[in-house]
Structures are given as structure tokens and as C-alpha cells.
Structure 1
Amino acid sequence: MKAKDIRNMTPAEIEQNISSLKEKYFNFRLEKISGRIERPQEGTKLKKDIARCYTVLKEIQREK
């Protein structure tokens, strides 16, 4: 997900996106522990997407 796409969302949508990404990351970690992981790079991608969402959310809050 690109920051440009996140900036087009409302703050409520961004927060929902963050919660769904956190859930996906949690499930990823469970799969990693159990050894059933297919794409190890997925964890890094999820963490970066969560960070992007938080960054854009903070930018929006600072503008107000």
C-alpha cells in the first residue's frame, strides 16, 4: 500500500486499516511460529504498511 493511497482515506478508514493490518501481522507471526509460513517477506511488508498508516494518520492530525 502506498502513502498516496492512504492519504486519500479518512482517519476512521485509516484506523480500520491499521487494525486489520495488525490482525494480519498477528496471524503471520502465529504461522511463523508453527512453521507453516510460505512468504517470509510478508511480515516486513505488513510492518511497513502499519508504519505508513500511522505516519499518515499523524500528519492528518497535525494539520487540524
Structure 2
Amino acid sequence: MKAAELRTKTAHDLQQELLGLRKEQFNLRMQRGAGQLANPSRFKVVQKDIARIKTVLKEQAGSEATATE
């Protein structure tokens, strides 16, 4: 997932995507704890995607705040 793709989405869509990724992260953590994690690299990818979405949400919130001033 690229940041440019995320910037085209609405805040609501980004929140939904973030919720899905957090659920996936939780499931991956549970699998890792049980020793059943099939693809360990997926954990790092999910973490980075969460960070990208949070960054874009902050950017959008900042641009909305400056637009209203």
C-alpha cells in the first residue's frame, strides 16, 4: 500500500482500513504467540501500513485545521 493511494481516500475509508489492519495485527500476534505464524514478514508489513494510514490521517486533519482558519 502506497501513501499516494491512501491520500486519495476519505478519512472514513482510512479509519475502516486502519480497523481491519489492527484486527489483522492482533491475529498475527496471537499466531506468533502460539507458534503458528506462517509468514513472519507479514507482521512488519502490517505495522508499516498502519503507520502510513495514521500519518495520512494526521496530514488530512492538519490540512483541514489550516483550511478553516
TM-score, normalization: structure 1? 0.97
Once the two structures are superposed, what CA deviation does each residue of 1:8-57 show, in whole Å capped at 9, x if it has no partner? 10000001100100000000000001111111011110000000000000
Structure 2 stretches of 5 or more lacking a match?
Answer: 65-69
Structure 1 unmatched ranges of 5 or more: none
Q: Answer with 1 or 2: which has the greater Rg.
A: 2
Aligned to 1:29: 29
Give the SS at the match of 1:36.
coil
CA RMSD of aligned residues (A): 0.5
Moved over 3 A (4+): none
User: How many residue pairs get matched?
Assistant: 64
Find the counterpart in structure 2 of residue 8 from structure 1: 8
- Partners in 2 of 1:38 and 1:8 — Cα distance? 32
Identity within the alignment, %: 34
